[in-house]
Structure 1
Amino acid sequence: MGFTKDKAELDGINASDRDIRMESLVEDIVIVGAGISGLATSLGLHRLGVRSLVLESWNSLRVTGFALTTWTNAWKALDALGIGYILRQNHLQICGNVTTSLITGQQTSKTSFINTTGKHGGHEIRCVLRQVMLEALANELPSGTIRFSSKLVAIEESGFSKLVHLADGTVIKTKVLLGCDGVNSIVAKWLGFKRASSSGRSAIRGCATLTSRHDLEPKFMQFFGKGFRSAVIPCDDKTVYWAFTWTPAAQEKKIEDNPCKMKQYVLEKLENMPSHIRAFIEKTDLNHFISSPLRYRHPWELVMGNISKGNVCVTGDAFHPMTPDIGQGGCCALEDGVVLARCLAEAFSAKAGGDMEKKKDEEKEEYKRIEASLKKFAQERRWRSITLIFISYVVGFFQEGESKWVSFLRDKFLSAFLAGFLLKMSDFDCGNLSKYS
């Protein structure tokens, strides 16, 4: 038997209680985490007629961050899941990208997103409110799919199944365990992954909600300074999302728990930003400031590590945490959801039946199908994820360069090249949910 935590944590659950609970709580598929990847996977399975149970440790949908730039590849995934049209209604289509150096005051690159096409057709970019996206995914799921206040504490082997132990003493027996539990994933740890590495950088994010329409053009605006980067992008007619990333010195880390100091720090750093854009940061309520360290998984860990093992697998940030420099973390998680749902649905297409001996054989065969489907997912997603992690890190290195030569190269030669990765990395189609295509 294997545990993610010390067996002592399971004290208080006696054998008879455990047996009773296992009889009453048996699930084909358990998904840990009701974030983007967890809900997308569950909805994809639902569209293909396969039921799943989503465990969320919070007592409601957990919204970390305010919005995410949703690129072309993400819209293909959202359309495959059947909710793209819901999100388009209330979010502006972004028409282009503009980058500006706050050192020289000069515009360094400009890219149009309109009437531009890639290998997979035209581009579509919108900045989507994270809560709206999570609610859109959750609202399409059958009642009872999400089980709130359900914190995973341990994973135990049980024949061809896994026993999922929750903090409240509940034990769930499942044929498939999917870790969509974020950057601090317990499931990823069980698979042998190390804690995600620190990039040494941090992000302060905020969202200004206005009482009247803003006058911003629907553009993705990026600003670069010495050792920092900022982005401002409208979500809808009255909401503007912004982000500020930098490498904090030891004394600067103290501001990350103080919204007032965070606001003051960002405004000081962005003093050369055009005043009509900087005003949206000034108007952001202190309750709408958050700070977080930027972490990522080393690409070689995905080359050598177990993305899946038997009937256990990871997706989203549990699988491929990356820095936000090309805006692909949430988009890649949506891709994961579609691909994983498609792979798993094939494994559940055959049903067990017959006498007891035949059922045992069927159980073994089903386990083999599940194992193969998760390996197929890992094979399909491994190099896509490695590429995005690597490109994000490299782009962030140059965009946020602090030395004079890096800033010079970025502003004079590399700005348009780096901005080009935004479209290049989003020119991807994860496919649809047509059964087993």
Structure 2
Amino acid sequence: MEDVVIVGAGIAGLATSLSLHRLGIRSLVLESADNIRTTGFALGIWPNGWRALDAIGVGEILRAKHTRITGVVTTSVDSGVITSEGTLATSDSNVDREARCVIRKEMLETLESELPRGVIRYSSKVVHIESQDGVNSIHLADGTLLKAKVLIGCDGVNSVVSKFLGFSKPSFTARCGIRGIVHFEEGHGFKPRIMQFFGKGIRFGVVPCDDHRVYWGSTFTPSSQEKEILEDPARLKQFMLSKLGKVPDEIKQVFEKSELENMVCAPLRFRRPWELLWGEIARDNVCVIGDALHPMTPDLGQGGCSALEESVVLAKLLAGAFKAGEGGDHEEECRRIREALGEFARGRRWRSFDLVATAYFVGVMQQSDGGVMRFVRDKLMAKFLAGLLLEKAKFDCGKLLVS
């Protein structure tokens, strides 16, 4: 009997396991792959994400490897004119405006290295779940049967656990995302800022991770003809190059230097916001967090950040339930666990709804190419967006302490 079983060794799963470990609660993490999955290359971490990483105890490790972003600049690819510039610069001690682009692989390896040996069990695919009398039975593809007092689904957009709780499959947005990373051997020379570009029915961003690595991402709505290129990296690269418009040569170089194996394209999916309002985020002693709960479009950069904040919030509640029930009977412990998960669900319902809905509508507005929407985007939206990103990143998960 395990106290806590976590399905998925991504950001949400490893952060939750490490948060529980810091609070003296052991967990078992089940990962279907045979090693850490590093798809996606990099992700933006905003203030709420850094607060969570600091609470978990790995913030300084990751800060040392990644450049702090000090500004945001937005440019129209139609005119080549900068439409907005903003600053994120503050004193180094102020985390309220802290943003960095973090290599996903390095974050996962850092979280993994802080966990005790044996906590993560790779090649462990969950195929069936049963729950009865406060005990979860977890069936694996290899025939193994595990039992747990708490089951946490951190298994992404195709979550087995969210399906068990009654959530439907995430919906497609009709948009696609292309992501890539480039390594400049002699250094890239970019200023530490987020560079955003809009126009020609596409939006893309370029941001340095450190002195040598640059991450880029793009979203677009493919036409019937463009859908044919989604599985062909060579044609995807040419598509991106054809959409750059009037951008500086150093930006063009980022896409020209992108190796095909360092590019990936995928349809963008999201949880319909109203499903978060009536869906079961937690049922008895089972819950979901991260992409298993609220897959969202990348337009706010909050997918990874919200998963990190949830890992800390959930760990504190569960640790309180376990420690308060030490020495008690099974029924009392189950009651405390249910109360803890219920409190977590209530706290995350509107937060998840807000992030998913806002990201979706921001993405639609940014990518629209009509005359009116172009004016709104270039003259009004660009200045508004940087403030919105920071507004959604104000959430403070607090310290890893059990009240």
Q: TM-score range by the shorter chain?
A: over 0.9
In the alignment, which residue of structure 2 is the partner of 1:76? 51
**Residue 363, structure 1, aligned to residue 338, structure 2:** no
Moved over 4 A (4+): none
Structure 2 match to 1:349:
323
Match of 1:34 in 2: 9
User: Could you say what the CA RMSD is over the residues aligned between the two structures, in angstroms?
Assistant: 1.4
Alignment of 1:286-435 (within 5 A): 286-350=260-324, 353=327, 362-435=329-402
Aligned residue-pair number: 402
User: Normalised by the size of structure 1, how large is the TM-score?
Assistant: 0.90
Q: 2:221 aligns with which of 235, 247, 252?
A: 247
Which of the residues 256, 260, 268 maps onto 2:242?
Answer: 268
1:66 equivalent in alignment to 2:41: yes
Q: Which letter does structure 2 place at the counterpart of 1:105?
A: G
Q: Which one of the candidate residues 189, 202, 206 is aligned to 1:215?
A: 189
1:245-285 CA-to-partner distances (Å, cap 9, x unmatched) read 10011221221211111111111111422111120111111
Aligned partners of 1:122 and 1:42: how far apart in 2? Answer: 26
* Cα shift at 1:116: 8.3
- What's the secondary structure of 1:214's corresponding residue? coil
Q: 1:150 and 1:40 mapped to 2: Cα distance?
A: 19
Q: Is the 8 A contact 1:226 1:403 kept in 2?
A: no
Matched residue type, 1:87: L
Alignment of 1:227-242 (within 5 A): 227-242=201-216
Q: Following the alignment from structure 1 to structure 2, what is the Cα–Cα distance between the partners of residues 222 and 121?
A: 23
- What is the aligned partner in structure 1 of residue 108 from structure 2? 134
Do residues 89 (structure 1) and 89 (structure 2) align?
no
Instruction: Summarize deviations over 1:296-354 as a string: whole Å, max 9, x none.
Output: 1111111111000000000000011111001000000000100010111011104555x
How many percent identity over aligned positions?
A: 53
Give yes or no for contact 1:226–1:401 (8 Å, CA) kept in 2.
Answer: no
Deviation readout 1:345-368 (Å, 9 max, x if unpaired):
011104555xxxxx7xx1111111
C-alpha distance in structure 1 between counterparts of 2:324 and 2:356, whole Å: 36
Give, in whole Å, the separation in 2 of the partners of 1:434 and 1:352. 17
Deviation at 1:414, TM superposition (A): 2.3
Stretch of structure 1 that moved more, 149-158 or 308-317: 149-158
| 2:24 corresponds to | 49
Distance 1:244 1:294 in 2: 11
Report the AA paired with residue 214 of structure 2.
Answer: V
- Structure 2 gap ranges (5+): none
How far did 1:121 drift? 5.8
Aligned equivalents of 1:413 and 1:345: distance in 2? 46
d(CA) in 1 for partners of 2:380, 2:334 = 53
1:69–1:125 contact (8 Å) kept in structure 2: yes
Mapped to 2, the partners of 1:396 and 1:79 lie a distance apart of 30
Determine the C-alpha separation between the residues in 1 that align with 2:334 and 2:380: 53
- The answer on whether the counterparts of 1:53 and 1:147 sit within 8 Å (CA) in structure 2 is yes
In structure 1, C-alpha distance between the alignment counterparts of 2:180 and 2:145, rounded to whole Å:
39
1:400-422: per-residue Cα shift (whole Å, max 9, x none)?
A: 11222111211122220123211
Considering only CA atoms, is the larger Rg found in Structure 1 or Structure 2?
Answer: 1
Q: Which residue of 2 aligns with 1:115?
A: 90
Matches of 1:366 and 1:101, distance apart in 2: 57
Is 2:164 the partner of 1:190? yes
TM-superposition CA deviations, 1:184-221 (whole Å, max 9, x none)? 11100110101111111110000001211111001100
Aligned-partner SS, 1:378: helix
Deviation at 1:225, TM superposition (A): 0.8
Q: Scaled by the length of structure 2, what TM-score is found?
A: 0.97
Q: Distance in 1 between matches of 2:91 and 2:72?
A: 13
Partner residue of 2:77?
Answer: 102
**Which residue of structure 2 lines up, in the alignment, with residue 23 of structure 1?**
none
